[in-house]
Amino acid sequence: MTRAYVPLLHRVAAINALLLTAAVALTVVVLAPRKISVLALDGEVLVVLAAVALVVLVNVYLLRRVIRPLQALIVFARGVDYSTLDHRIEGAEPTSEAGELALTFNEMLARLQDERRESTGRVLRAQEAERLRIAQELHDQVGQELTAVLLGLSRVASRAPSCLEEDVLAIQDAVRDGLEDVRRIAIQLRPEALDDLGLTSALAVLADRFSEQLGLEVSEHIPADLPPLPPEVELVVYRVAQEALTNVARHSASSRADLMLSCDADRLRLTVRDHGLGLPPESLPGTGMRGMRERATLIGASLAIGSPTSGRGCEVRLEVPLAATGPARNRERRHSAR
Amino acid sequence: MICAAPPPPTIERTALRDDPLTRTRLLVVDDHPAVRAGLRELLADEADFVVVAAVDTAEAGLEVAKREPIDVAVVDYQLAGRNGLWLSRKLKRLPLPPAVLIYSAYTDGVLAAAAVVAEADALVSKGSLGSDLCREIRYTAVGEGHLPALPPRLAESLRRRLDHDEQALFGLLLAGLPPAEVAATLGLTSAAMEARLRDLLGRLEGLPAAPRG
Distance from CA of A273 to the nearest CA of B (A): 23
Distance (Å, rounded) from C-alpha B169 to C-alpha B176?
Answer: 11
- The answer to whether the predicted template modeling score (pTM) of the entire model surpasses 0.90 is no
5-64 of B, contacting A, C-beta below 8 A: 5-6, 32, 34-35, 37-39, 41-42, 45
Distance from CA of A166 to the nearest CA of B (A): 13
Bridge partners of residue A303, in order along the sequence: A318
Question: In this structure, what is the dihedral angle of CA atoms A17, A18, A24, A28, given to the nearest 10 degrees?
Answer: 150
Decide yes or no: CATH 1.10.10 for domain B152-204.
Answer: yes
Distance (Å, rounded) from C-alpha B121 to C-alpha B176?
Answer: 11
Distance (Å, rounded) from C-alpha A199 to C-alpha A210?
Answer: 16
Q: Are strands A267-274 and A256-263 parallel, antiparallel or unpaired?
A: antiparallel
Cα dist from B199 to B202, B208, B210, whole Å: 5, 9, 8
Mind giving me the DSSP string for B153-165? HHHHHHHHTS-HH
* Average confidence (pLDDT) over A297-306: 85
Q: What is the largest CA-CA distance in chain B?
A: 69
Distance (Å, rounded) from C-alpha A39 to C-alpha A224?
Answer: 98
Residue (of A129, A117, A9) closest to A62 by Cα position: A9
- Label residue A225 exposed, middle or buried (CB < 10 Å: 0-12, 13-18, 19+): exposed
B97 touches chain A (CB under 8 A): no
Q: What pLDDT shows up at residue B53?
A: 95
pLDDT single digits (tens) A19-36: 999 998 888 888 876 655
Cβ–Cβ of B130/A157 closer than 8 Å?
yes
State which residue of chain B sits closest to A171, comparing Cα positions: B129
Going by the DSSP 8-state scheme, the letter that residue A161 receives in this structure is -
Distance (Å, rounded) from C-alpha B36 to C-alpha B29?
Answer: 7
Cα dist from A328 to A73, A271, A303, B49, whole Å: 40, 22, 22, 53
Going by the DSSP 8-state scheme, the letter that residue B211 receives in this structure is -
Higher pLDDT among residues B43 and A248, named by residue: B43
Give the H or E element holding residue A117: helix A97-137
Residue type at B28 in one-letter notation: V
Cβ–Cβ of A157/B131 closer than 8 Å?
yes
* Average confidence (pLDDT) over B18-39: 87
Chain B environment of A203 (Cβ under 8 Å): none
Reading phi first (left if > 0) and then psi (alpha if -120 to 50, else beta), residue B206 is in left
Cβ–Cβ of B208/A332 closer than 8 Å?
yes
**Start-end of H helices in A198-286:** 199-214, 231-251
Local confidence band at B70 (pLDDT 50, 70, 90 cut-offs): very high
Cα dist from A22 to A12, A34, A45, whole Å: 15, 18, 14
pLDDT single digits (tens) A262-301: 988 888 999 998 887 777 665 666 677 788 888 888 888 8
Residue (of A161, A142, A78) closest to B32 by Cα position: A142
Give the H or E element holding residue A218: strand A217-221
Cβ–Cβ of A335/B206 closer than 8 Å?
yes
Cα A230 to the chain's mean position, in Å? 21
- What is the total residue count of chain A? 338
Chain A environment of B5 (Cβ under 8 Å): 161
Q: Please say if the pLDDT value at position A7 is more than 60.
A: yes
- Every domain of chain B and the residues it spans: 16-141, 152-204
Residue B98, CB-side half-sphere exposure with 13 Å CA sphere: 29
Cβ–Cβ of B129/A150 closer than 8 Å?
yes
Local confidence band at A87 (pLDDT 50, 70, 90 cut-offs): confident
* Average confidence (pLDDT) over B97-119: 85
Q: Which of A151, A205, A218 to mutate to test the interface with B (most CBs of B within 10 A)?
A: A151
Residue (of A46, A47, A41, A49) closest to A17 by Cα position: A49
Q: Are strands A267-274 and A217-221 parallel, antiparallel or unpaired?
A: unpaired
Cβ–Cβ of B78/A163 closer than 8 Å?
no
Q: Which of A145, A147, A222 to mutate to test the interface with B (most CBs of B within 10 A)?
A: A147
Q: Which residues contact B131 (CB under 8 A, 6 or more apart)?
A: A154, A157, A158
Q: Highest mean pLDDT: which of A77-91, A203-217, B62-76, B118-132? A: B62-76
Cβ–Cβ of A338/B105 closer than 8 Å?
yes
Distance from CA of B201 to the nearest CA of A (A): 12
Query: What SS3 state is found at B49?
Result: strand
**Same topology between domain B16-141 and domain B152-204:** no
The CATH number of the domain covering residues in B16-141: 3.40.50.2300
* Lowest-pLDDT choice from A320-324, B42-46, B112-116: A320-324
Chain B environment of A224 (Cβ under 8 Å): 160
Pick from A139, A153, A200: CB nearest B157? A200
Give the H or E element holding residue B125: strand B122-125
Pick from A144, A176, A332: CB nearest B32? A144
Cβ–Cβ of B127/A183 closer than 8 Å?
yes
Give the H or E element holding residue B104: strand B99-104
Pick from A157, A198, A204: CB nearest B153? A204
Q: What pLDDT shows up at residue B14?
A: 43
Cβ–Cβ of A151/B39 closer than 8 Å?
yes
Cβ–Cβ of A143/B130 closer than 8 Å?
no
pLDDT single digits (tens) B162-207: 777 778 888 888 777 777 788 888 888 888 888 888 888 877 776 4
Residue (of B22, B43, B69) closest to B133 by Cα position: B43
